[in-house]
Amino acid sequence: MKSMDLSVKIGPLALKNPITVASGTAGYGEELSKYYDISRLGAVFTKGLSLLPRAGNRGNRIIETHAGMLNSIGLENVGLECFLNEKLPFLVSKNAVVIPNVAGHSIEENVELCRELSQAKGVSALELNVSCPNVKEGGLAFGSDMKSFTKLLKKVRPAAGLPLIVKLSPNVADVASFAEAARKLGADAVSAVNTFLGMKIDIERGAPHFDNKIAGLSGPAIRPMAVRIVYEIYERVRIPVIGIGGICEASDAIEFLMAGASAVSIGTMNLVTPAAAMDCLEGLESYMKKKHIGRVEELVGKAHRA
């Protein structure tokens, strides 16, 4: 058998393989680089960026669930200047494919972030975050209301001089309709999905565990729902999808590919097993070899052709 082709296309963006790490779980690549060569990844999605440094939410931020994690980080990040001067050069030095997650408070902030990041050497694409449930401004406010979503995309798309990926929320009645709108408004791809809304009550205090009350649920518990959403998007919209949600091992990644994802992002599992993404990549290679699959793109959407 000839060598396997793991390369994928995400709109105009070419990746060496479909295994990436999700925003918010991989920092700025520095942490994971201690465990493996991050240039082997298809891409690194960095923590959500704002123009100025953001402290994030007060109080409790993370708690484990039986099959995942609730988080209320609040998009803490170093800000654009520090990212450009310190974090991006490190990623470039490691030959990583860099996709910053854009998480502005307002339309204007998102536009400026996209404009500045598009001009930065070493940035390959942008991921617009319209789905974080842990902030009061921006985030889910954009991704759960079609009018706000449309207004944002109409302003951001012209400012983004690079491939634009929109990170969708699962906390709407019809995620595929937002994917369809994203395509019509010029997005090159969508990430599906961000965390599901969840909550934890501290029964000793009789009060919510998080100061923000509501938190984002991630991990294996959400995988069946995330796979269903990717499947529905693929059926409705011809736009590349990056599948996210509870991926722990290669079989999970392959399931997302067969549901219609062109690539996948490992999230919560990075915090459990830092080398999880490499395990997924090597497992994918082994699966393809075993099944005599020459190109990984043969797996994309296979469940729809069964």
Quote the CA–CA distance of 16 and 241 in Å, as a whole number. 16
* Confidence (pLDDT) at 141: 75
Give dist(CA 126, CA 122) in Å, integer.
12
Q: What is the pLDDT of residue 2?
A: 65
pLDDT at position 137 over 70: no
Q: Cite the active site residues.
A: 132
Instruction: Say how far apart CA 236 and CA 138 lie, in whole Å.
Output: 27
Percent of the chain whose pLDDT exceeds 90: 94
pLDDT single digits (tens) 199-240: 999 999 999 999 999 999 999 999 999 999 999 999 999 999
Assess if residue 3 is contained within a domain: no
Look at residue 182 and tell me whether its pLDDT is greater than 60.
Answer: yes
CA angle 231-237-242, nearest 5°?
55
Q: Is 1 part of a structural domain of the chain?
A: no
Question: Would you say residue 276 lies in a domain?
Answer: yes
Mean predicted confidence (pLDDT) in 256-279: 98
pLDDT of residue 264: 98
Q: Does residue 273 form part of some domain? A: yes
Are 124 and 159 within 8 A, CB to CB?
no
Write the CATH number for 188.
3.20.20.70
- How many domains does the chain fold into? 1
Q: What is the DSSP string of 92-158?
A: HHTT--EEEEE--SSHHHHHHHHHHHHTSTTB--EEEE---TT-SSSTHHHHS-HHHHHHHHHHHHH
Eight-class DSSP state of 14 = E
Q: What's the chain's average pLDDT?
A: 96
Please report whether residue 2 resides in a domain. no
pLDDT band at 117 (very low <50, low <70, confident <90, very high): very high
The reported pLDDT for the residue numbered 306 is: 84
206 lies in some domain = yes
- Domain that residue 159 falls in: 8-304
Cα of 108 vs its chain's centroid, Å? 22
CA atoms of 248 and 260, how far apart (whole Å)? 18
In a domain, 300, yes or no: yes
137 falls within a domain:
yes
